[in-house]
Amino acid sequence: MPRRGHSGRLNGGIQGRVLLLTICAAGIGGTFQFGYNLSIISAPTLHIQEFINETWWLRTGQPLPDHLVLLVWSLIVSLYPLGGLVGALLAGPLAIMLGRKKSLLVNNIFVVAAATLFGFSRRAGSFEMVMLGRLLMGVSAGVSINVQPMYLGESAPKELRGAVAMTSAIFTALGIMIGQVVGLR
101 lies in some domain? yes
Structural domain count, the chain: 1
- Domain of 157, in residue numbers: 29-184
Domain membership of residue 99 (yes or no) is: yes
Domain CATH number, residue 162? 1.20.1250.20
pLDDT at 154: 86
Q: How confident is the model at residue 12 (pLDDT cuts 50, 70, 90)?
A: low
Whether 112 is in a domain gets the answer: yes
3-state secondary structure 79-132: HHHHHHHHHHHHHHHHHHHHCHHHHHHHHHHHHHHHHHHHHHHHHHCCHHHHHH
Question: Which candidate, 38, 64, 26, places its Cα nearest to that of 168?
Answer: 26
Q: DSSP secondary structure string, 1-25?
A: ---TTT-HHHHHHHHHHHHHHHHHH
The chain-wide mean pLDDT, for the chain, equals 89
- Is 24 within the bounds of a domain? no
CB within 8 Å of 22: residues ≥ 6 apart:
152, 155
Q: What share of the chain is helix, strand, coil (3-state, %, to 5)?
A: 85, 0, 15
φ, ψ of residue 4 in degrees (nearest 5): -65, -45
In a domain, 14, yes or no: no
Q: What is the pTM of this model?
A: 0.85
Mean local confidence (pLDDT), 87-96: 96
Residue 106 in any domain: the answer is yes
- Is residue 18 assigned to a domain? no
The answer to whether residue 111 is domain-embedded is: yes
CA torsion 106-109-111-115 (nearest 10°) is 170
Query: What is the predicted pLDDT for the residue at 9?
Result: 52
